[in-house]
Amino acid sequence: MTTMIKVDNATKSFTLSYHRSLKQLALAKARGRKTHDVFNAVDDVTFSVKEGEAIGLMGLNGSGKSTLLKLVSGVMRPDSGSVLTRGRIAGLIATGAGFDPQLTGRDNLFLNAAILGMSRAETLRKFDEIVDFADLDKFLDTEVAYYSSGMKARLGFAVAINVDADIFIADEALAVGDRPFKRKCKKRMDEIVQSGVTMFYVSHAPGAVRNLCSRLLVLEKGRLAFDGDVDEGIAYLQYDDDDDDEVKGRGKYTSDDGLGADI
Amino acid sequence: MTTIPSPAPIRRRSTPEELEALPLLPPSATGLAEVVRRRYLLKMLVRNAIQSRYQGTALGWMWSYLQPAIRFCLFYFLFQVMIGRGAGMENFAVHLFAGMVMVHFFTETFNGGTMALVQNRSLITKLAVPREMFPVSRMLVAAWHTVPMVAILVFVCVLLGWTPDPAGLVAIVLGFAITALFGLALGLVFSVANVYMRDFGKVAQTLTQFVNFSVPMMYPYTLVHERFGEPIASYYLVNPMAEAVLLIQRGFWTGTTSDPAYTAGIHLPEDLYTRGLVMTLIALVCVVLAQRLFSRLEARVPERL
């Protein structure tokens, strides 16, 4: 099997600046206070993903999931170590893809597709599918600034999911969609996995991860704490506790439990 | 009730064999070469920026003619009519406007480039794009907005009996090349610096104020020579924008005067073309250096935005 994602000792650190202006800096220095802090959002993470694997990525808030995803998608570059991928990557990072709020949905659709590496011909070929999937009706020619968060998510997801990709990544992509849309997305993501596209999926919902993924990575404070079987990983995270039911008010094995609804 | 259309089946992009043949690479390619390779995306960014410029205005693209025309009238009134600066020069209005075309192209490239990354935050923090794309697109947008000004300039020049000559056209091309490259180099550096410290946006604005007065546009180059003499006059020419403006004066203005060769002899430096060529090469080197600096600093851009 071909290696699709290869992450070697990747570390990404962020600087927290407490002060920005010279005056504040000088004052802080004079008083002996800290002017900035450095922490590793992703700390020495190593793993590799083979072709056709569906990887779930879980962890508490602030554990570095999104940062790791950004490293894999190429939005960010690691400070040390390396992140290598093969083929075209598509997907969504956080809710609502990168949109230019001044442009209409249609223009953003083309722009997004172009950023994901699609040519004009390819975009035109997929145009109807994307529009159907996003189901925006007359809002397609409205500026995205006036979109609801749900509409933005639908458009972003519709573009991303219709790109022919080799690696598909999704980060809480479905959190703001309504239920029919989530179902539609879930179906589509299942198809993606079945077609053999490599999937990298971040979620807080154990049910969705269990359904979709064949392997689970768990991050803890930026470090890779678990890598292996999905059920064991969920147990490791203690996400299968009883209080799971309190959150959702339903059984934990219901067909579409969560799907990212529990943010 | 949402209707669920039956979507086409998911297609894999590459077969397992094709995938195996693909290299393992960092997920995002960067650099100016990548910008050239992804022309379609660049074209779209340029088009979007042009569209959104006059969004919601009733006059639309007319503004790109109106604004320079009004600015020209203002300067013209001030210098020609009130101060009488143009008294000793033939077609001072053309001299002024030709300079304005070049300066406008430069300032828009520089200032636009400086804001390019900050303004595209929503794209940069979520999608993998070669980030050089943004300053480059601003330069092209500026070039596009310069077209109406050149059209006005050509129109006025033709009215005054100007006929294009090959040497003049070369001067125009060189002038624009220097401005484009130099503006792009500054745009690249300032765009990424502006992400780290927003002060650089203000610095860029201040610098562009100087450009208006440090090029032979509101006054002839001879004036510098007369007032300050030799060492300073040659320092003056070190400014790439002064050189670019002199080149466009050679391309348009001298040709509209009654004796172009005489005008050029008086008001332009002797080795205009050699200087132009050298300056173009220097500007090219600046772009390469700027790109190097850019790629060193841009690794931390998404989290700083």
A28-32 mean pLDDT:
83
User: What is the DSSP code string of B110-142?
Assistant: HHHHHHHHHHTHHHHTTS---TTHHHHHHHHHH
Range with the poorest average pLDDT among A14-28, A247-261, B226-240: A247-261
State both tokens at B26: 């960092």
Please give the structure tokens belonging to residue B3.
């209707």
Residues of chain A positioned with their CB less than 8 A from the CB of B23: 86
CA distance B14 to A87: 8
Q: Do B16 and A2 touch (CB under 8 A)?
A: yes
Superfamily, domain A1-10+44-87+166-263: P-loop containing nucleotide triphosphate hydrolases (3.40.50.300)
At residue A186, the pLDDT reads: 84
Q: What is the mean pLDDT of residues A11-28?
A: 82
Please say if the pLDDT value at position A170 is more than 60.
yes
What residues have CB less than 8 Å from B289, skipping those under 6 apart? B185
Whole-number Å distance between alpha carbons of B183 and B81: 32
- Worst-scoring range by mean pLDDT, A125-129, A223-227, B69-73, B109-113? B69-73
Compute how many other C-beta atoms are within 10 angstroms of the C-beta atom of residue A145.
Answer: 12
Distance CA A242, CA A256 (A): 18
Is the pLDDT at A242 greater than 70? The verdict is no
For residues B230 and A177, the model is more confident at B230
Q: Chain B: nearest CA to A20, how far in angstroms?
A: 8
pLDDT recorded at residue A177: 72
Tokens linked to B302: 């998404």
Is the pLDDT at A247 greater than 50? The verdict is no
Question: Rounded to the nearest 5°, which phi and psi values hold at A40?
Answer: -90, 110
| Minimum Cα–Cα distance from B44: chain A residue | A111
* Cross-chain residue pair B26–A87, CB shorter than 8 Å: no
Please tell me what DSSP assigns to residue B80: I
- Sheet bearing A167-171, strands edge to edge: A89-92, A167-171, A198-202, A54-59, A215-220, A223-228
Of A23-37, A196-210, A246-260, B229-243, the least confident: A246-260
CB contact under 8 A, A195 and B10: yes
Q: Is the ipTM of this complex over 0.95?
A: no
Examine the pLDDT at A70 and tell me if it is beyond 80. Answer: yes
Highest mean pLDDT among A17-26, A117-126, B29-38, B185-194: B185-194
Least confident of A2-11, A218-227, B47-56, B138-147: B47-56
Q: Tokens 């070190």 sit at which residue? A: B238
Q: Identify the pLDDT of residue A205.
A: 84
Of A75, A98, A191, the CB nearest to B9: A191
Q: Are strands A80-85 and A36-50 parallel, antiparallel or unpaired?
A: unpaired
Lowest-pLDDT range, A16-20, A58-62, B242-246, B301-305?
Answer: A16-20
For residue B21, give both structure tokens: 């043949």
So what's the pLDDT on residue B239? 93
**Residue stretches of chain B with pLDDT short of 50:** 1-5
pLDDT digits (tens, 9 = 90+) for A75-108: 889 999 999 998 888 877 665 567 888 888 999 8
Q: What is the pLDDT of residue A94?
A: 60
Of A100, A114, A181, the CB nearest to B2: A181
The CA distance from A133 to A227, in Å, is 34
Mean pLDDT (chain A) is 83
Scanning the structure block, which residue is given the tokens 């050699």?
A: B274
**Nearest C-alpha in B relative to A86:** B24
pTM of the model: 0.86
B13 to A87: CB separation less than 8 angstroms, yes or no: yes
**In chain A, % of residues over pLDDT 70:** 87
- Predicted pLDDT of residue B147: 92
Q: What is the pLDDT of residue B24?
A: 83
> A210 by DSSP, 3-state: which?
helix
What distance in Å separates residue B67's CA from the closest CA in chain A? 23
Interchain CB contact of B17 with A (< 8 Å): no
Please compute the mean of the pLDDT values over residues A21-49 and round it to a whole number.
86
Assign A260 a pLDDT band (cuts: 50, 70, 90).
very low
Interface check B33 vs A, CB under 8 A = no
User: In the predicted model, what is the mean pLDDT of residues A192-210?
Assistant: 87
A213 phi, psi to nearest 5 deg? -105, 155
Domain chopping of chain A, boundaries: 1-10+44-87+166-263, 94-164
- In whole angstroms, what separates CA B254 from the centre of its chain? 23
Q: Hey, is the C-beta of A37 within 8 angstroms of any chain B C-beta?
A: no
Cα-Cα end-to-end distance for chain A: 35
Contact at CB, A100 and B52, closer than 8 angstroms: yes
- Helices B230-238 and B221-228 pack at an angle, to 10 degrees, of 140
Per-residue pLDDT band at A250 (split at 50, 70, 90): very low
